[in-house]
Amino acid sequence: MSLDVVPDPAKQIDFHIKELEGLRAEISFYTHEIRWLERAAVIGPVTVYSWLAVQERLENSLTGLFAWWLPFILICFIWLRRRHAERSILRIASYLRKVEDHFALRTLGGWENYVEGLRSNPTTRWRKFSRTFWICIFVVCLLVPALVTFERSIGPFR
């Protein structure tokens, strides 16, 4: 069997169409995963802090003190997973732009080329909101255990 056989152009186009559908489905999956991770980043720490606030038996223990820092650790892992999902989306989108450049009309471009124009503007609302959201989550998850640790070291605030 020779590798020099030129495949049928119609089959090539069908292959690329199926590939594009699969890659767009993957982008959709990662987008939904990012939204789920953002919900977990809010609900997880709130749940842990709410539970810890009513646990008197953990009040003066080292385990209780460590438990207050668990949401921060959780948030770090959630953020890392979110970054992976975002980078995967960007990697797939980069490939899709190349395919669109090859198959689409130069003046039309394609969806990924259009979105790239939006992404290149660093002042988009989505980027600002996302950055602000994660900064706030990190600050809260650092301040809450720090304040609890500080209060336990000097006594209750009065």
Phi-psi category of 151—alpha, beta or left, where left has phi over 0 and alpha has psi -120 to 50? Answer: alpha
* Residues 2, 31: Cα–Cα separation, whole Å: 42
By CB atoms closer than 10 A (0-12, 13-18, 19+), residue 145 is buried
According to the model, what pLDDT value does residue 158 have? 44
- Phi/psi class of residue 155: alpha, beta or left (left: φ > 0; alpha: ψ in -120 to 50)? left
**Which residues contact residue 134 at a Cβ distance below 8 angstroms, ignoring those fewer than 6 apart?**
41, 79
Copy the structure tokens of residue 102: 């090859």
Q: What is the average pLDDT across 125-137?
A: 87
| Distance between CA atoms of residues 137 and 126, nearest Å | 16
Q: Which whole number is the average pLDDT over 39-64? A: 86
pTM for the complete prediction?
0.76
CA distance 112 to 65: 48
pLDDT at position 109 over 60: yes
Average confidence score pLDDT of the chain: 82
Q: What is the pLDDT of residue 2?
A: 53
Q: How high is the pLDDT of residue 79?
A: 96
* String of DSSP letters for 63-96: HHHHHHHHHHHHHHHHHHHHHHHHHHHHHHHHHH
At 132, the pLDDT band (50, 70, 90 cuts) reads very high
Q: What is the mean pLDDT of the segment spanning 96-115?
A: 71
Instruction: Give pLDDT, residue 10.
Output: 73
Task: Give the pLDDT score at 119.
Answer: 61
